[in-house]
Structure 1
Amino acid sequence: MEVFAEFLDRIDPQHRARMEDILSRVMETFPNLMPTMKWNQPMFTDHGTYIIGFSISKKHIAVSPELAGMVRFAEEISKVGYDHTKELVRIPWDRPVDYSLLEKMIEFNIMDKAGCTTFWR
């Protein structure tokens, strides 16, 4: 979690624990992923390729599994009631995190990008 310490220190204390929980859970569930900070955002990579990233705003946590992940899970994202764009999912601070969906997005990207040799698709 040390790699994310500076990022977490800048978050409103009301939201810091929740963001720490999300990042910790990803690290525990997917220990082979590399936690890193790029563009002032926490993200996870696998063999040098992007898997998932997070950012925050006043109203939500944004989760970005890249366009392929969004296309693959658009229906499930809508079913849980999260707002989304073509590149990210918005999880409001006052709504629960659907960890099952988050884990599916990460698993998909790990498998889908297994042979990827670039950071982005």
Structure 2
Amino acid sequence: MAEKAKTVEEYLARLDPSYRAELERIRALVKELVPGLEETVSYGMPTLKHRGRALVYFTASKKHLSFYPSSWAIAELRERLSGYKTTEHAIQFTPETALATDLIEDLVRVHVREIEADRQ
């Protein structure tokens, strides 16, 4: 079994180029939207933290990518996610069915608002 990535860069370097490009786009977008994020790997997934709490996770599987913006954000914006497979915490997509920039921004804004309100 391959050793788990210890950094976001290491995780991304191991991916198929099309998956890597899409996750790099999401990473850059979230970092631009919320300056000063901490990058780490948590639960084996690249994680961007805001105020010491996980803001988003993102990951690649064999057949899809996943974005984890929080169950609160998914619930609040559910009507905009009708074209995607979702779980309570994740949105699944492919490079061909990528999440729109404005949707990512809105999902992140919802979770930032909840973190800043100290919602548990």
TM class by shorter chain equals 0.7 to 0.9
Identity fraction in percent = 25
Q: Which residue of 2 aligns with 1:69?
A: 73
SS at match of 1:106: helix
Q: Which residue of 1 aligns with 2:62?
A: 58
SS at match of 1:62: strand
Instruction: Output aligned runs, 1:17-56, within 5 Å.
Output: 17-56=21-60
Which residues of structure 1 form unaligned runs of 5+? none
**Alpha-carbon deviation of 1:57?**
1.0
| Alignment coverage as a number of residue pairs | 114
Match of 1:113 among 104, 112, 115: 115
Q: Which residue of 1 aligns with 2:4?
A: none
Q: Which residue of 2 aligns with 1:104?
A: 106
Mapped contact 2:57–2:67 kept (Cα < 8 A): yes
**Alpha-carbon deviation of 1:8?**
0.8
Task: Give the TM-score normalised by the residue count of structure 2.
Answer: 0.83
Q: Which amino acid aligns with 1:69?
A: A
Q: Which residue of 2 aligns with 1:84?
A: 86
Q: CA RMSD in A?
A: 1.7
